[in-house]
A and B are shown apart, each in its own frame.
Chain A
Amino acid sequence: MVLVLAIGDLHIPHRAPDLPPKFKSMLVPGKIQHIICTGNLCIKEVHDYFKTLCPDLHITRGEYDEDSRYPENKTLTIGQFKLGICHGHQVIPWGDLDSLAMVQRQLDVDILVTGHTHQFKAYKHEGGVVINPGSATGAYSSFTYDVNPSFVLMDIDGLRVVVYVYELIDGEVKVDKIDFKKTATAPSAH
């Protein structure tokens, strides 16, 4: 029962002053084992804040990130799943599922977490999952109108991952749940 927080596109301070207080009160240190961040934090303070929530922090670079040392993409293995992170502005067209799937195959991962569009999405695609946690602060996006703040919490348990998405709609936090099961894998082709 490993909890992984997928969050990103906060754009603090350029597009938003801070995380919504309701989210802040939910994100408590010590409960989450890993944090996956798609990028565009943008400043060091947010990085430090995430570090206090959980020391195992994986970030990829978004185009507005102040710290240019973050990698363009990253992979890690948690339990039985291989996860990949990529911000998404490099994948053209932005938000296009096929292109993202290509990245997934390239990185050879089961779950790909990307961002940039500020819109929550979760697809099942050819044996893998593509998740976009949206923007945690509801930051302005040229891509999406009416952005609701959202983030994703994944519960990885053996061969099964349950994806909880938390969205702040009209001041209330709404939770949704999606189940994915990994088929018993043959070793990958590469």
Chain B
Amino acid sequence: MIADGVEDEEKWLAAGIAGLQQNAFYMHRALDSNNLRDALKYSAQMLSELRTSRLSPHKYYELYMRAFDELRKLEMFFKEETRRGCSIVDLYELVQHAGNILPRLYLLCTVGSVYIKSKEAPAKDVLKDLVEMCRGIQHPVRGLFLRSYLAQVSRDKLPDIGSEYEGDADTVVDAVEFVLQNFTEMNKLWVRMQHQGPAREKEKREKERSELRDLVGKNLHVLSQIEGIDLDMYKETVLPRVLEQVVNCKDEIAQYYLMDCIIQVFPDEYHLQTLDVLLGAFPQLQPTVDIKTVLSRLMERLSNYAASSADVLPEFLQVEAFSKLNNAIGKVIEAQPDMPILGVITLYSSLLTFTLHVHPDRLDYADQVLGACVKKLSGKEKLEDKKATKQIVALLSAPLDKYNDIVTALKLSNYPRVMEYLDSETNKVMATVIIQSIMKNKTRISTADRVEALFELIKGLIKDLDDAFHDEVDEDDFKEEQNSVARLIQLLHSDDPEEMFKIICTVRKHILGGGPKRLPFTVPPLVFSSLKLVRQLQGQEENPFGEEESTTPKKIFQVLNQTVETLSNIPAPELALQLFLQCAEAANDCDLEPVAYEFFTQAYILYEEEISDSRAQVTAIHLIIGTLQRMHVFGVENRDTLTHKATGYSAKLLKKPDQCRAVYACSHLFWVDDQDNVKDGERVLLCLKRALRIANAAQQMSNAARGSAGSVTLFVEILNK
């Protein structure tokens, strides 16, 4: 009768403990007066408390522990007895007269322990006897605890190599046999628990079972501790027997726990060498067993093992670990077509980690793993499951972390395909991870193909993947993303100008598809990279004429012109203006007058048409004047036109002080120390006078004394030059 009601259980437990303690008390009294018969009588009564079937395993355990303590004292007494001359064989006989089987067996085990210690009989005989006798108890909970007791007392008395109990007749084989048998019986009892009792209490039973699982697992632990077991014995005897039991019991809970146990307790070298057998067991397990977790743990252990020392790596190769694991996973997935996608990815993730640790140089293995992943993912739409996507991100980040070099990761052809299955959020996350890895390791990406591949990977950041409009992306996040793309562009560099130009064109192609929101972030770095290239080309003046297709500054400027134009099409006129001026200066350095003029024209047009904010105008004017002042490539006419225009703009600024300052700045346009043909003193004076006039007007308007004082100082200085 199974207990129903925790309070009842508490009551029964209390009653049991009370009975136990009472009998223990009498037993001690008998022991103290050396009364063997009484001692046995009371101990049997005490152990009868363990006959209850009313307690859950948890409570039974409490009762058991107390009994265990008492039995220790009893054992010591028995030992004393034998020293006093009582024959152990007789004692062995005597205890079997106890009335009920359970107490009888507990006492027998206790005596047996002393028996073995006395070495009057070979250990193996006693052990064999005991393990057979315990068959008498078929009730799961009681039987499990009894056998657990047996295992515990016999633990240090196994005829292991080097132990004192080893003899001619007793060997490790016997020890192994004993433990295996105990294990087998315990497992059977454990599994039987599943099927006891009404179906509605299944959950409760399963919970109780999991409380007891360590008892069963202990045996495996003992096995692993036996020193005499070497690889051969493990391969021939231990593993097959254990696996046989595991597979045949056909119980989901047992299989999961025991497979995991095997993997955890036995050493990794053994696992490597028996990989076939171990993996062969997996498909035979019940379909509901959570194989992926077990397999993942196995791979994790092996990965750690590989990482622990480099000497073990050849073993892996010899055993062809990778292909076996790969096949095993494949079979498992085939056998369970309904496995949720999370499971599949977890498996492949572990396998990939394993590959990266064990075979860091075998890119094709990593690629294979990714390829298998792709195959499995294909046919489904983009993943919605959060956990699965997280796993995929982990899967994809692993090669990055390991290789520390995006270039290697780019060689994995299946990498981008996996990324395609991520939804756009995660795609962006992944892209950011990639960029961060590049920046951290400062990898230089130096060929156009690699750039192309890289931009394929991060295309989530570069353009909107779905055509559907996204709901508000957080402003700051967006800026951060784009800034990281911008920084990335800085890192794309090749020393060969041809290659660099190709890179620039590739990048340009990609970012122009980014849409108006992205361009202000991505175009400037591209422009500056190009300008750097121009400068580099300039430095290589030695190039003789005659190369048709080589990169010339002129070509680059053409590209630049178009690129910056796109910026002016979306409203970003200030930025475009600045970039035009920068290009103009660069053209100036290359002595390309028409190009520079073109750039200036564009800048002026922008100024006239687009820039209307007065502060922006002031800044823009300063830049225009500053740039123009440094130009030395223009002929007189061109320069005149431009200067005239600039002065005109200055005079039309909104605020008078600004006007004044701009105009006297323009005066510098007419007098540049380095250029002999630009020293038009008259025009300088004209400018300054104009500035003065404006200043006076300003003064009249608002006592801006400083404005005029400033221009006076300047006047003096310029005349002094």
Starting from the known contacts A13-B490, A140-B531, 8 additional A-B residue pairs (CB-CB under 8 Å) come to: A13-B486, A14-B528, A15-B525, A16-B490, A63-B619, A98-B717, A142-B582, A145-B535
Is the Cβ of B487 less than 8 Å from the Cβ of A13?
A: yes
Of A64, A89, A140, the residue contacting B626 (CB under 8 A) is A89
B713: which A residues are within 8 A, CB to CB?
Answer: 102, 105
Contact with B along A52-83 (1 / 0, CB 8 A): 00000000000110001000000000000000
Is the Cβ of A142 less than 8 Å from the Cβ of B668?
A: no
Is the Cβ of B528 less than 8 Å from the Cβ of A15?
A: yes
Is the Cβ of B483 less than 8 Å from the Cβ of A43?
A: yes
Bound form: Cα–Cα A45–B586 in Å? 29
B188: which A residues are within 8 A, CB to CB?
Answer: none
Is A12 on the interface with B (CB-CB < 8 A)?
yes
Is the Cβ of B629 less than 8 Å from the Cβ of A89?
A: no
Closest chain A CB from B617 CB (angstroms):
13
Is the Cβ of A89 less than 8 Å from the Cβ of B490?
A: no
Is the Cβ of A15 less than 8 Å from the Cβ of B490?
A: yes
Among residues 5 to 50 in chain A, which have CB atoms less than 8 Å away from a CB atom of chain B?
Answer: 11-18, 43-45
Bound form: Cα–Cα A139–B527 in Å? 13
B486: which A residues are within 8 A, CB to CB?
Answer: 13-14
Bound form: Cα–Cα A14–B434 in Å? 20
Is the Cβ of B487 less than 8 Å from the Cβ of A92?
A: no
A93: which B residues are within 8 A, CB to CB?
Answer: 626, 629-630, 668, 672
Is the Cβ of A92 less than 8 Å from the Cβ of B665?
A: yes
Q: Which residue of B lies closest to A88 (CB)?
A: B626
Bound form: Cα–Cα A142–B535 in Å? 10
The chain A residues found within 8 Å of chain B, CB to CB, are: 11-18, 43-45, 63-64, 68, 89-90, 92-94, 98, 102, 105-106, 139-140, 142-143, 145
A-B contact pairs, 12 of them (CB 8 A): A14-B525, A14-B528, A15-B528, A17-B487, A43-B479, A63-B619, A89-B619, A89-B626, A92-B626, A93-B629, A94-B626, A145-B535
Q: Please, how many residues of chain B have a CB less than 8 angstroms from a CB on the other chain?
A: 40
Bound form: Cα–Cα A45–B481 in Å? 12
Q: Which residue of B lies closest to A96 (CB)?
A: B668
Bound form: Cα–Cα A93–B629 in Å? 7
Is B306 on the interface with A (CB-CB < 8 A)?
no
A-B contact count (CB 8 A): 80
Is B398 on the interface with A (CB-CB < 8 A)?
no
Bound form: Cα–Cα A142–B668 in Å? 19
Dominant secondary structure of chain A at its interface with chain B: loop
Given A15-B528, A92-B626: A102 and B585 within 8 A (CB)?
no
B619: which A residues are within 8 A, CB to CB?
Answer: 63, 89-90
Contact with A along B432-443 (1 / 0, CB 8 A): 000000010000
Given A15-B525, A43-B483, A64-B578: A102 and B710 within 8 A (CB)?
yes
Closest chain B CB from A136 CB (angstroms):
15
Among residues 604 to 623 in chain B, which have CB atoms less than 8 Å away from a CB atom of chain A?
Answer: 615, 619, 622-623
Bound form: Cα–Cα A140–B493 in Å? 14
Q: Which residue of A lies closest to B484 (CB)?
A: A13
B345: which A residues are within 8 A, CB to CB?
Answer: none
Residue among A14, A15, A64, A94 with the most chain B CB within 10 A? Answer: A14
B535: which A residues are within 8 A, CB to CB?
Answer: 140, 145
Q: Which residue of A lies closest to B721 (CB)?
A: A98
Bound form: Cα–Cα A94–B623 in Å? 10
Bound form: Cα–Cα A98–B710 in Å? 13
Is the Cβ of A142 less than 8 Å from the Cβ of B585?
A: yes
Closest 9 CB pairs of A and B: A13-B486, A142-B585, A17-B487, A14-B524, A92-B665, A17-B490, A13-B487, A15-B528, A90-B622
Is the Cβ of A140 less than 8 Å from the Cβ of B585?
A: no
A105: which B residues are within 8 A, CB to CB?
Answer: 713
A89: which B residues are within 8 A, CB to CB?
Answer: 619, 622-623, 626
Is the Cβ of A92 less than 8 Å from the Cβ of B717?
A: no
Is B652 on the interface with A (CB-CB < 8 A)?
no
Closest chain A CB from B664 CB (angstroms):
9
Is the Cβ of A142 less than 8 Å from the Cβ of B706?
A: no
A139: which B residues are within 8 A, CB to CB?
Answer: 528
Is the Cβ of B483 less than 8 Å from the Cβ of A13?
A: yes
Residue among B532, B585, B589, B619 with the most chain A CB within 10 A? Answer: B619
Closest chain A CB from B504 CB (angstroms):
14
Is the Cβ of B706 less than 8 Å from the Cβ of A92?
A: no
Of A18, A90, A98, the residue contacting B487 (CB under 8 A) is A18
Is the Cβ of B714 less than 8 Å from the Cβ of A102?
A: yes
Is the Cβ of B480 less than 8 Å from the Cβ of A45?
A: yes
Is the Cβ of A140 less than 8 Å from the Cβ of B532?
A: yes
Bound form: Cα–Cα A12–B451 in Å? 21
B630: which A residues are within 8 A, CB to CB?
Answer: 93-94, 142-143
Closest chain A CB from B542 CB (angstroms):
17
B479: which A residues are within 8 A, CB to CB?
Answer: 43-44
